[in-house]
Structure formats: C-alpha cells, structure tokens
C-alpha cells in the first residue's frame, strides 16, 4: 500500500480492510516488484471499454477524459505508437572471407569520439626528421564511447538522479546534459562532464553558468514536443528549484515555444556568437532541434550560423510532460531526419564543420551503431538511462508522482533512488553497450567508430519502399 504513489489502495477503517480503486492504477509495477508474497499481477480490465479496430481503448478513454475535463490530454515519455521506427528495418553487415573481422578483445578497437567543428585541413610542420600535426584550436568534446546523456533538467528529475547521471558520465568518460533548469550548486563538481542548456525560458542562465560546463547547448526544439514550449507546474517549483532556475517559488516555470530573440538564422548566429565570446571560444556550442519536415535545410543554416554540433531529436524522444496529440503526431523519425541532414551537409561541403548527435528513440547499442552508419557522430540517450535506474515506462512523469523516485521532487519518494546503485547501473549500461558496439564493429571489420560514420554500405533494409530507401541512402537486403 505504501509503495503505490497513485493512491490505488486505501484503508477502510469501518470495514477494517484495504480497498482498491483500480481506475487509478497506472501499471507502474512498483507493487508487483515489492510484494513480499509475489502475489500481485496487473492485467488490463477486459470489460473497461468495448473497443474495435477503429476505436481502441486509448482513443475511447481520451474522449471520455476530455468530455469530463475540457482540457488537454497530457502524457510523459516518448511516442509509443508502433510505426515510425526505421531502426528495426535496418540490418548490419558482417565480414566473411574478404576484409576479415576484428576480434575486439585481442585487437585494438577505437570508440573515442571527438565532437565539434573540425578544421578544413591539417597543418603539418617538419621537425627535420618527422612531421608533426598542429593541434586543432577548435574546442572539442572528447567521449570514450559515442553515447551521451540527453537533457534532463533539475525539476523534471530530482538531484539524486542528476547526480547519478553525472557520476556515470564521469566514470565512463562522457557527458550529461543538465537541461534547461539551471545548475544546482552540488553539480559544479562534475562541471567537466556537463553540457549546459540555454533554452527559451533562460532559467538559471548567467555568466557564471555559461563559464561552467564543457559545452553549451541552445535548445530550439525537442523531439517529443516540437513547436511547443515546456511547463513545470508550480507545485514542483520548490525552494531549491526556484533558486536554481532563478524564479519565484511555487510559480509555474513556462518555457515559451520560441526564443523571443530568434526569428531567423541570423538571430541564431548572433546568440551563438555572443555565447562564444562570453565563454572566450573555449567550448563547443550545440544547437538542438526537433526532427521535422525540413530538418536538412534548417541544419544547413545552423552550421552556417556557427554551431559546432547539431543535436537532432526524433519524434520518439521522451519528455517529462507533453500533450499526447503533439507527442504522437508531430515531427518525423530520427532515422529519416539524420540521413537527410547528413546527405545535405555532405552535398554542401559543410559536414566537416559540425558534428551530429542523434537522439529520440535510441534503445540499444545496435540503434547507436545504425544511427552512426546513417551519419551521426554520437547519440544522446535518456529513457534507456532512466530504465536502467528502475523506470518502468508508465508514462506518468508529468504527475510528479514517479513511483520509482526518478521524475518526482517529492522528498520522500525521491529517496527511493539510491544514488550509488543508480550510478552503478547506468555506468554498467554504458559499458555493456560499448562492448556490444565493439563486437558489431569488429564483425564488420572496422576498428574505429569514426570509420563507420555515414558509412551506409554497412546497412541493408527490409520491407521499405524505393523512396524510403532513397532518403535513407540504404540498399535492400540481398543487393
Ligand atoms: S499504480 Fe503501480 S503501485 Fe499502484 S497499484 Fe498500480 S501497479 Fe501497483
Ligand atoms: S520516470 Fe517514473 S513516472 Fe516516468 S515513466 Fe518512468 S516510472 Fe513512470
């Protein structure tokens, strides 16, 4: 009873028994996991709604809810509709006979990845006997594996979870993006492994904030809710969050849909330039956009505006809270956006000037490998990291009652996350994925992740039509 944060169980003193209101159950499985007798199972109520092929349970339930409330249907996490996942239609190559495979355990295998603009040419200077390459003055992020933790703000997740992600980033030689909620002072100790966001709400953004951290990300859009802003309800704006975000306690934290100073690529260029000047050109600037219909043209403009890294967030990307209609119907899959952006930047001779981070629907090491073969340099993950810490994808993050203590600011429920255990589990996940990436690379006869980038020869597709193949730049299996 105490495990359920959604008040499904209550004790009826008059009847001296526990009563269950099953309509409140969100299928989070917390009670199942903690039942000492292993006697609880959660099954859909077969008589709840009479559905047919046109009107499923969800669509009927949503109409009923809105008829009662007159409001927007909110949800959390990412789009859960079965279509739109191209990764499952792509298969990887493996060496046979010629170009032999590489054994990643016994032979060198490089996953180290540098993110940031690369120089157009490498200057070599002669020392008489040898030639030495002149180091690039362009700031880079150095990753020991091509995976970073995507933006999760203080407020959308609690400090326990932020710290666990930052520590896992430190131990695995990668980065955690603290999102748009400012920087809690406790996070300063991880500064070298943090990416700090400048979003439309400008929460917690000041000179000291920009000086901290390894990179700055300007968030234009987010895959789970392209074109709309963010909303952290006043109930979640505690004393600590109000100080970190620099807003009054208990007030709604609203990030407007647009940046009110960005209406063109020139405006974006100005903001990038200002941040670069303020930070003395010492750190790469990331611009994050949602994957939308004209991502390729937008990305071309972003590179010309001076960004060092573009993060493209596909429609399967997650969030703490979004209108369900937006989450499930706006944007495009990351695979298509990524391939078209990589193509366009290559055609325009701009690809070297920027790195690409793919995100929004990366579920496994094979998704990472496929994304890199489609043109990404690295991938952001978020949902997978939360699942590693216990999330059961019940999609109720927006309620602030996360039963696993992750997306809640409630001081009591937050304690359900053991930061040490959470750090270990997330670090393990990254390690496991990295080992699998090495195995897949070895199988393809590749000894460096960089050699896979945009190398679509290593991909083949099943069940896609000619036009889809053309956009992805991938051939059918058997060809
Ligand atoms: S909401 Fe979660 S904890 Fe509560 S009854 Fe349902 S499955 Fe169990
Ligand atoms: S983070 Fe918590 S509330 Fe959100 S989907 Fe996972 S378990 Fe549910």
Residue 10 has pLDDT above 80, yes or no: yes
* Sign of the CA dihedral with 18 first, then 418, 425, and 231 last: positive
Separation of alpha carbons 466 and 449, rounded Å: 29
Q: What pLDDT band is residue 98 in, cutting at 50, 70 and 90?
A: confident
Question: Whole-prediction pTM value?
Answer: 0.94
What Cα–Cα distance (Å) separates residue 112 from each residue in 115, 139, 353, 365?
A: 10, 16, 19, 15
Task: Please enumerate in sequence order all residues whose Cβ is within 8 A of that of 191, keeping only pairs 6 or more positions apart, or say none.
Answer: 212, 213, 214
Beta pairing, strands 74-75 & 322-323: antiparallel
Atom of ligand 2 nearest to the CA of 392: 7
Is 311 within 8 Å of 288 (Cβ atoms)? yes
Please list every protein residue whose CB sits less than 6 Å from any atom of ligand 1: 3-4, 6, 8, 25-31, 42, 403
How crowded is residue 164: how many other Cβ atoms within 10 Å of its Cβ?
A: 28
Dihedral (Cα; 195, 377, 369, 336), 10-degree rounding = 100
Which of 22-26, 121-125, 151-155, 458-462 has the least mean pLDDT? 121-125
Q: What angle do CA 156, 162, 166 make, to 5 degrees?
A: 145
Residues forming a β-bridge with 110: 448
Q: What pLDDT band is residue 158 in, cutting at 50, 70 and 90?
A: very high
Separation of alpha carbons 410 and 405, rounded Å: 8
Residue 390 has pLDDT above 70, yes or no: yes
Residue 120 has pLDDT above 90, yes or no: no
Distance from residue 303's CA to the centre of ligand 2 (Å): 35
Q: What pLDDT band is residue 291 in, cutting at 50, 70 and 90?
A: very high
Separation of alpha carbons 195 and 216, rounded Å: 6
Beta pairing, strands 378-381 & 147-149: parallel
Residue 135 has pLDDT above 80, yes or no: no
Separation of alpha carbons 299 and 287, rounded Å: 9
Separation of alpha carbons 344 and 356, rounded Å: 13
Q: What pLDDT band is residue 267 in, cutting at 50, 70 and 90?
A: very high
**In this structure, what token pair is assigned to residue 143?**
């990753």
* Residue of 117, 283, 255 whose CA lies nearest to 191: 283
Residue 247 has pLDDT above 80, yes or no: yes
Which has the higher per-residue pLDDT, 134 or 311? 311
Q: Is 149 left (phi over 0), alpha (psi -120 to 50) or beta?
A: beta
Separation of alpha carbons 452 and 442, rounded Å: 11
Q: Average pLDDT in the 28-43 region? A: 91
Q: Which residue has the tokens 């040490």?
A: 420
Separation of alpha carbons 377 and 466, rounded Å: 26
HSE (side-chain half, CA atoms, 13 Å) at 402: 33
Distance from residue 279's CA to the centre of ligand 2 (Å): 36
Domains present along the chain, CATH in parentheses:
9-75 (no CATH), 141-476 (3.20.20.70)
Mutate to test the pocket of ligand 1, among 2, 42, 44, 405 (most ligand atoms within 8 A of CB): 42
Mutate to test the pocket of ligand 1, among 1, 8, 27, 33 (most ligand atoms within 8 A of CB): 8
Residue 228 has pLDDT above 70, yes or no: yes
Distance from residue 78's CA to the centre of ligand 1 (Å): 21
Q: What is the mean pLDDT of the chain?
A: 94
* Residue of 344, 267, 257, 262 whose CA lies nearest to 298: 344
What end-to-end distance do the CA atoms of the chain give, in Å? 58
pLDDT, tens digit, 9 for 90 and up, residues 320-370: 999 999 999 999 999 999 999 999 999 999 999 999 999 999 999 999 999
pLDDT, tens digit, 9 for 90 and up, residues 185-219: 999 999 999 999 999 999 989 999 999 999 999 99
Please list every protein residue whose CB sits less than 6 Å from any atom of ligand 2: 28, 76-77, 386, 391-397, 402-404, 406-407
pLDDT at position 84, please?
Answer: 86
Mutate to test the pocket of ligand 2, among 317, 382, 402, 409 (most ligand atoms within 8 A of CB): 402
Helices (H), 356-459: 365-373, 383-388, 411-414, 419-444, 449-452
Residue 173 has pLDDT above 80, yes or no: yes
Q: Average pLDDT in the 382-391 region? A: 98
Q: Average pLDDT in the 459-463 region? A: 97
In the chain, what percentage of residues exceed pLDDT 70? 100
What Cα–Cα distance (Å) separates residue 292 from each residue in 255, 268, 326, 333, 438?
A: 20, 18, 13, 8, 32
Q: Average pLDDT in the 127-134 region? A: 81
Atom of ligand 1 nearest to the CA of 28: 2
Is 334 within 8 Å of 295 (Cβ atoms)? no
Residue 136 has pLDDT above 70, yes or no: no
Residue 133 has pLDDT above 90, yes or no: no
pLDDT, tens digit, 9 for 90 and up, residues 276-286: 999 999 999 99
Is 186 within 8 Å of 166 (Cβ atoms)? no
Q: What pLDDT band is residue 71 in, cutting at 50, 70 and 90?
A: very high
Residue 437 has pLDDT above 90, yes or no: yes
pLDDT at position 33, please?
Answer: 93
Separation of alpha carbons 226 and 336, rounded Å: 16
pLDDT at position 319, please?
Answer: 94
Separation of alpha carbons 470 and 441, rounded Å: 24
Is 414 within 8 Å of 408 (Cβ atoms)? yes
Helices (H), 144-264: 159-172, 207-211, 239-245
Distance from residue 393's CA to the centre of ligand 2 (Å): 5
Residues 183-217 as b or e (16 or more Cβ within 10 Å = b): bbeebeebeebbbbbbbbbbbbbeeebbebbbbbb
Integer-rounded Cα Rg, in Å, for the chain is 23
Is 380 within 8 Å of 363 (Cβ atoms)? no
Q: What pLDDT band is residue 253 in, cutting at 50, 70 and 90?
A: confident
């Amino acid at each position: 009873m105490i495990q359920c944060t959604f008040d499904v169980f209550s004790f009826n003193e008059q009847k001296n028994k526990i009563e269950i209101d099953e309509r409140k159950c969100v299928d989070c499985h917390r009670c199942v996991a903690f039942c000492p007798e292993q006697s609880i199972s959660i099954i859909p109520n077969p008589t709840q709604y009479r559905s047919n092929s046109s009107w499923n349970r969800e669509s009927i339930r949503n109409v009923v809810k809105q008829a009662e409330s007159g409001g927007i249907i909110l949800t959390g996490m990412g789009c859960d509709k079965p279509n739109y996942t191209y990764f499952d239609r792509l298969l990887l190559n493996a060496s046979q006979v010629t170009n032999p495979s590489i054994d990643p355990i016994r032979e060198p295998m490089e996953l180290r990845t540098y993110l940031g603009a690369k120089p157009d040419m490498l200057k070599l200077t002669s020392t008489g006997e040898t030639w030495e390459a002149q180091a690039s003055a362009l700031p880079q992020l150095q990753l020991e594996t091509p995976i970073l933790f995507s933006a999760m703000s203080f407020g959308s997740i609690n400090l326990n979870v932020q710290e666990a992600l930052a520590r896992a980033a430190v131990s695995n030689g990668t980065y955690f993006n603290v999102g748009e909620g400012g920087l809690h002072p406790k996070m300063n100790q991880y500064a070298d492994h943090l990416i700090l966001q400048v979003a439309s709400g400008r929460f917690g953004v000041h000179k000291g904030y920009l000086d901290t951290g390894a990179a700055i990300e300007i968030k234009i859009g987010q895959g789970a809710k392209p074109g709309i802003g963010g909303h952290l309800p006043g109930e979640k704006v505690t004393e600590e969050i109000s100080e970190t975000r620099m807003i009054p306690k208990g007030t709604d934290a609203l990030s407007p849909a647009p940046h009110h100073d960005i209406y063109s690529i020139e405006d974006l260029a100005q903001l990038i330039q200002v941040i670069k000047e303020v930070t003395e050109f010492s750190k790469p600037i990331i611009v994050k956009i949602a994957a939308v219909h004209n991502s390729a043209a937008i990305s071309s403009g972003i590179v010309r505006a001076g960004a060092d890294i573009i993060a493209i967030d596909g429609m399967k990307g997650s969030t703490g809270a979004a209108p369900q209609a937006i989450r499930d119907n706006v944007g495009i899959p990351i695979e298509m956006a990524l391939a078209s952006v990589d193509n366009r930047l290559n055609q325009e001779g701009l690809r070297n000037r920027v790195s690409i981070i793919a995100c929004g629907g990366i579920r496994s090491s094979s998704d990472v490998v496929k994304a890199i073969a489609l043109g990404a340099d690295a991938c952001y993950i978020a949902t997978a990291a939360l699942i590693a810490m216990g999330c059961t994808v019940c999609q109720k993050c927006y309620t602030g009652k996360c039963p696993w203590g992750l997306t809640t600011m409630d001081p009591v429920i937050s304690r359900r996350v053991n930061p040490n255990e959470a750090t270990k589990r997330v670090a393990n996940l990254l390690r496991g994925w990295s080992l699998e990436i090495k195995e897949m690379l070895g199988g393809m006869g590749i000894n460096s992740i960089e050699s896979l980038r945009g190398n679509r020869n290593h991909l083949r597709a099943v069940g896609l039509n000619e036009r889809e193949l053309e956009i992805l730049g991938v051939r059918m299996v058997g060809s």
